[in-house]
Chain A
């Protein structure tokens, strides 16, 4: 068959020859250049999930609190008392790799638009970051740029950045992950949907002007990074947070009038994506005139208009006759607002340019029945996983109660762990963020396992309620075992919420993976998705949407693509019924008793931070997640917090029990003396990792009530380890020998210098 475009042009739009043949079949003719560009972006993984859609279908998405599930700009959950929360996570990995500051900043701008497009006012931001080895100067530049970019947009737009997580590992070298999550409270009576309605209704273009920035970002985001990416650099957009703030206010004001029928933000693939998705969701067509679009550059071609990813732009469908009133609102906020199109009965996207039809594509051809690739799943776990699972702790050098040999006492190992960039304080990062603007942040970054933001109900008496949010995803565990690792991420997110006293409600997930076209890559993706689906079902936290970022790979020096760790990031939100009953992670009072909940939970050194940073070994298999125990431990913790017995609660995560105890000491500026028992290796007891364990502290005055409660609800799964006090962390074994004894000052110093050694 003779193609109107040569192979290179088709490949430049990142379409395969088969996909091009399918376009010819759907149109019944050759596409023109503008139409080819539209198909290129709409059929990218970023927009149509062609590799992941069959896998996402298994996620549980229903629940009594779920008002809006996957498919809209953001998920919405019912918080009761008339409050509704919109939330969503999105990645900006590829733009951040090329231009860290603007890439991360526009990632924040993009996720905020998803929230206020629904009619919600953004109330909080979180971010999940992954970088390479900090010893490398390029990593330090990337990390500093990304953090500054997030701070720039978030701080200027006036939305607090309240929490998040960051890991450093050579597997992310050159391909950092920048995932941003936003939460918003609905301000409008009706949730604003994105389906265009009402034949003849005007289509308004509002916000900023259109330039050539961000050309083809969506298809760029779906490609591997290579040295060539430097030449792709014009794909970087520049955000304007002050204009973004004006757009938030103008949109919320416009939605309040009830005259806006539908709204969609212009993110990836700009005008192409917003017109075709609005038309397809409404079952109608849209005619759109590019000559009306306010441009800030001259001589732009239709294709450039259609693919531009200029920031801070939205498309609204407005009731016929009300366009003047809506335009007036946007003009008052100093924003562009023009009628650039109308809703038409034919289900097509018709683009006009200089009086001619520049592109006309059936919406169904663009957004529905888009290509889907069902790939063959490996029948056996790949060789790398099988050999990792063959590892066991006995392969490590012998150790004793004194330490790893006479030269390496456990106290020193603990300080080494705390001083590593993955466990050290992230203060250098979150100090750059304004985490208190809007004046509703109750639990600040660094002090608790999850962030908590006050739900301000004006004029309402009674206990103040709050929303808690967390982001979790340990890529190393998912690499070693995608199923267990992904389950562990969901379980940890729920546990973090439970540790502050919040009831987990719902999930938004960001799937960061390598190429699904390799058998191992697809196995990782498919197996992790199954893990997330089963975990969310077991914990009763439906998935309301998210983002998929594939092809996170860099070309190594040998020319072979090297994938990142498969990294699903789980964003979870929870409800705090009473802000008076909240928990941080640090000890609160001298003399309080320390309890470990979930004492029977299986732990392992496989994939642990200890194994990676002390023994430089990537091996082992994370323990299976026991959801029955997980639910019991978390429910007991929340119950203790609600009763007012539990004064502090902290999840035993990376670094195991030893690091969790140290973190509770550092956060609370109080020492503790504890006795732990264990069978097997002492490093496994101290630093082994696994879910289902929470460390709590309780005042002796509540000892009787708390222990009776635990005996009833968590029989055989709890133990009192000792008490809070003094200025050292002292850990004895059950036979009386001292495992660890470190002064609070030394612990704190190691922990505080972990990041600032590299980033200053």
Chain B
């Protein structure tokens, strides 16, 4: 049963990878008084709308898109939520 799906993709740096921007933001927050913040990791959030014959196939396509283009698997992890819309 085909239909339209929407995917919410979350891309984050892999745990071992240094995040210079995150580190800079953490220092900024502490300087503003948020000294309870001990770590900041910055990622990306991407919304996709797609047509697919089934939820399963939609899942497969989004997964492929993530590993090929949306995320850089060398330094980033990704996960996504997929719902029929």
Chains A and B are bound partners: yes
Interface string of B19-51 (1 = CB under 8 A from A): 110011001000000000000000000000000
Query: Which residues in A have some Cβ–Cβ distance to B below 8 Å?
Result: 98-99, 102, 208, 211-213, 233-234, 236-240, 242-243, 296-297, 310-311, 334
Q: Which residues of B contact A208 (CB under 8 A)?
A: 18
| Inter-subunit contact A102/B75 (CB<8 Å) | yes
Would you call B27 and A334 a contact (CB within 8 A)?
A: yes
Q: How far is the CA of A403 from the CA of B18 in the complex (A)?
A: 58
Report Cα–Cα, A339/B14, bound state, in Å. 30
Q: 18 additional contacts, CB 8 Å, given A99-B72, A102-B75, A240-B23?
A: A99-B75, A208-B18, A233-B73, A233-B74, A234-B16, A236-B17, A238-B17, A238-B19, A238-B20, A239-B18, A240-B18, A240-B20, A242-B20, A242-B24, A243-B20, A297-B16, A311-B18, A334-B27
Bound state CA distance, A240 and B20, in angstroms? 6
Chain A residues contacting B19 (CB-CB under 8 Å) are 238
Q: List 19 A-B contacts (CB under 8 A).
A: A98-B74, A99-B72, A102-B74, A102-B75, A211-B16, A211-B17, A211-B18, A212-B16, A213-B18, A234-B14, A236-B17, A238-B19, A238-B20, A239-B18, A239-B20, A240-B18, A240-B20, A297-B15, A334-B27
Closest to A100 in B: B74
Which of chain A's residues have a CB closer than 8 A to the CB of B75?
Answer: 99, 102, 233, 236, 238
Shortest distance between the CB of B69 and any CB in chain A (Å): 11
Distance of A375 from chain B, by nearest CB (Å): 35
Closest to A98 in B: B74
- Cβ contact within 8 Å between A237 and B74: no
Residues of A within 8 Å of B15, CB to CB, are 212, 297
**What 0/1 readout, one digit per residue, does chain B (65-84) give for beta carbons within 8 Å of chain A?**
00000001111000000000
Neighbouring B residues of A233 by C-beta, 8 Å = 73-75
Query: Which of B16, B19, B20 has the most chain A CB within a 10 Å cutoff?
Result: B16
Q: Which of A213, A243, A334 contacts B17 (CB 8 A)?
A: A213
> Which residues of chain A have C-beta atoms less than 8 A from B27's C-beta?
334
**Which of B18, B72, B73 is close to A296, meaning CB atoms less than 8 Å apart?**
B18
Using Cβ atoms and an 8 Å threshold, which residues of chain A touch B23? 240
Whole-angstrom distance between the Cβ of A449 and the nearest chain B Cβ? 37
Distance, CA A214 to CA B10, complexed state (A): 24
In Å, the complex CA distance between A334 and B15 comes to 23
The CA-CA distance from A297 to B73 in the complex, in Å, is: 20
For the complex, what is the distance from the CA of A233 to the CA of B76, rounded to whole Å?
11
Q: Can you name the residue of chain A whose Cβ is closest to the Cβ of B73?
A: A233
- The contact string, 1 if C-beta is below 8 Å from chain A, for chain B 48-72, is 0000000000000000000000001
Contacts of A334 in B (CB 8 A): 27
| In the complex, the 6 A-B pairs of residues with the closest C-beta atoms, listed nearest first | A212-B16, A240-B20, A238-B18, A99-B74, A233-B74, A213-B16
A397, chain B: closest CB distance, angstroms: 45
Write the nearest CB–CB distance from A86 to chain B, whole angstroms. Answer: 26
User: CA separation between A239 and B17, bound complex, in Å?
Assistant: 10
By a CB distance below 8 angstroms, the chain B residues around A296 are 18
Q: Compute how far the CA of A586 lies from the CA of B11 in the bound complex, rounded to whole angstroms.
A: 49
Q: How far is the CB of A366 from chain B (nearest CB, A)?
A: 26
| Minimum C-beta distance from B42 to chain A (A) | 13
Task: Give the chain A neighbours of B16 by CB distance below 8 A.
Answer: 211-213, 234, 297
Q: How far is the CA of A274 from the CA of B48 in the complex (A)?
A: 48
Contacts of B24 in A (CB 8 A): 242
**Least Cβ distance of A456 to chain B in Å?**
30
Closest beta carbon of chain A to B53's beta carbon, Å: 28
Q: Give every chain B residue within 8 A of A297 (Cβ-Cβ).
A: 15-16
Q: What residue in chain A is nearest B13 (Cβ atoms)?
A: A238
Return A98 CB to nearest CB of chain B, in Å.
6
C-alpha gap A310/B74 in the complex (Å):
16
A572 CB to closest chain B CB, in angstroms? 34
Distance of A296 Cα from B15 Cα, bound (Å): 10
Q: Which residues of B contact A102 (CB under 8 A)?
A: 74-75
Q: Specify the chain A residue showing the minimal Cβ separation from B39.
A: A296
- A237 close to B20 (CB less than 8 A): no
**CA–CA, A310 and B14, complex, Å:** 14
A212 to B72, CA, bound (A): 18
| Bound Cα distance A311, B17 (Å) | 11
Give Cα A102–Cα B20 distance, bound, in whole angstroms.
12
**CB-based nearest A residue for B72:** A99
A211 contact set on B, CB distance < 8 A: 16-18
Query: Once bound together, how far apart are the Cα atoms of A238 and B14, in whole Å?
Result: 11
Residue on B nearest A236 in the bound complex, by CB:
B74
In the bound complex, residues from chain B placing their C-beta under 8 Å from that of A98 are 74
Considering only CB atoms, which chain B residue lies closest to A145 in the complex? B72
Q: How far is the CB of B15 from chain A (nearest CB, A)?
A: 7
Q: A276 vs B14: C-alpha distance in the bound complex, in angstroms?
A: 30
Residues of A within 8 A of B74 (CB): 98-99, 102, 233, 236
Q: What residue in chain B is nearest A308 (Cβ atoms)?
A: B16
